[in-house]
A and B are shown apart, each in its own frame.
Chain A
Amino acid sequence: MSGVHAHALHYHGHSPVHRLAPEVKIVAMFAFVAAVIATPTRAVWAFGFLAAVLAVAVGLAEIPMGFFLKRLSIEIPFVIFALAMPFVGQGPYVEVGSLSLSVPGLWGSWNVLAKATLSVGASIVLSATTEVADILSGFDRLRAPRLLTAIAGFMVRYLEVVVSELGRVRTAIAARLGDLSRRREAATLAAVSGTMFIRAYERGERIHQAMLARGYQGVMPAAAAPELPVRWSGMVAWAASAWVVAAAAILTT
């Protein structure tokens, strides 16, 4: 990860998708996810088309397959949940080899797998092509409550600060107690979590003072980030194609 391109989810590039205004990508992603959710589970063919629509976006964004699949691993907990469904679902059952699987469970499993994979895939395209700061200013320009985007911004900004503080505390503990077993380390860390809270709280107070010192009066000023050109047409066409698939699936099932 280079210093300039900050977050791990981002894939540095100059593709047409990278250059789109963030608000366009946010709207397109939500439209695509909504289309995926609206598509009936049993219209299996429709998910194939939706996957093709997503593949077009991944291709245009020039995201390498390896990067995409690695980021997709975030859905593994859902996959495990989905794979359990055929075993715990109700009847009717279908015999597969020596296993008796629940038919509604199998459909449920397919529903979660297909929809989660496509939705996560769409969010990967957004996060891989848009810096966190730009996603936030995109939400600002879409008139999301500024307080919420500000809180999200603070979270992103201070996550690393707090994590590195925790790292220093861990080092200090290890230095005094020698090599720790995982269990003992966990117990000690639980004890210092109170200290960490106080530290984070005091940091919050100092930040608030720094904000007041620069004229903050309770309202975050509008994002003053340089704007990217807004080009809706391509993105509208892309999201609309997902909706055409969803509509066809709804009408035919």
Chain B
Amino acid sequence: MTALLEVEDLAYTYPDGTEALRGATFSVAEGERVALLGPNGAGKTTLLLALIGIIQASRGVVRVGGVTLEPETYPEVRRRIGIVFQDPDDQLFMPTVWRDVAFGPANLGLDGEEVETRTKEALAAVDMEQQADRAPHHLSGGEARRAAIATVLSMRPDVLVLDEPTSNLDPVGRRELADLLSTLDTTQIVVTHDLPFALRLCPRSIVLNGGRVAADGPTAELLSDTDLMAANRLELPYGFDPGTIAGR
């Protein structure tokens, strides 16, 4: 398998001196679905922002599909890596769902017809065609999440990155989201605290802690390693035993 996304020795220190990333290194192959796990403050969100140059890493390299991240390649890298942010209220900023999904492709400078094709295709992929003309603040939590995913799918990214996609979703919404994500062929990185969700969806997991990769391997194995879990402040829900559940 060739690596689609390569992250090498990525480091970042916030202006207040907090070292959020201290040399994170990993790679993701095409078609993989990888969970990125870690406690609060592990540097997960910082890593996402650094992947597309919204914050500039002080050290290290990001490469996606052979394109190296640098100021000249920001537009290209941001097309290839699509990030769905945690709060759909931040992600959905246009007056209607349709216009929001069309925002990305329009920024790519595509012509009107192509923008329309992609918008329709993305809305269909998340089953939101009926809600195209609605205002984002009138969507349910699950609908808003799906609309947020569509806004990124319309850019046809190589890698889909989701930040805490299950936050504020009820169990049914969570299950429906897992079903939806498993139907998408795009390479996915799912940042989450929701370990059963990670197990259900992602064969492989990367554990980030203290700004470094603390572990990288099959999700079921990592979740069964109690020492590793405890060392990284990861905890399974009460009564949940990954050994008895068929992961992917």
Contacts and interface: CB of A to CB of B under 8 A. Distances in A.
Interface of A: 3-4, 6-7, 131-133, 136-137, 153-154, 156-158, 160-161, 203, 206-207, 209-217, 221-226
A84 B182 CA distance: 68
Contacts of A224: 98-99, 102-103, 105-106, 112, 115-116, 119
A225 B96 contact: yes
A213 B106 contact: no
Given A213-B82, A225-B96, 13 more contacts: A4-B134, A207-B93, A213-B52, A213-B78, A213-B85, A214-B82, A214-B107, A214-B152, A214-B155, A215-B104, A216-B103, A221-B102, A224-B115
Given A154-B93, A157-B95, A214-B155, A221 B103 contact: yes
Nearest to B112: A224
B61 interface: no
Interface of B: 49, 52, 54, 75, 78-79, 82-83, 85, 87, 89-91, 93-96, 98-99, 102-108, 112, 115-116, 119, 133-138, 151-152, 155
A157 B119 CA distance: 20
Contacts of B103: 211, 214, 216, 221, 224
19 contacts: A131-B133, A133-B96, A154-B93, A156-B95, A157-B95, A158-B93, A206-B87, A207-B90, A213-B78, A213-B82, A214-B107, A214-B151, A215-B75, A215-B107, A215-B155, A221-B106, A221-B107, A224-B106, A225-B99
Contacts of B82: 213-214
Q: Provide the main secondary structure of the chain A interface.
A: helix
B128 to A, nearest CB: 13
B62 to A, nearest CB: 14
The 4 closest A-B pairs by CB, nearest first: A221-B106, A133-B95, A224-B102, A215-B107
A212 B93 contact: no
A206 B106 contact: no
Contacts of B137: 6, 157, 160-161
Contacts of B93: 154, 157-158, 207, 210-211
In this complex, the member of A7, A210, A213 whose beta carbon has the largest number of chain B beta carbons within 10 angstroms is: A213
Nearest to A206: B90
A217 B107 contact: yes
Given A214-B78, A215-B75, A4 B90 contact: no
Contacts of B94: 153, 157
A153 B95 contact: yes
Contacts of B95: 132-133, 136, 153, 156-157
A27 to B, nearest CB: 21
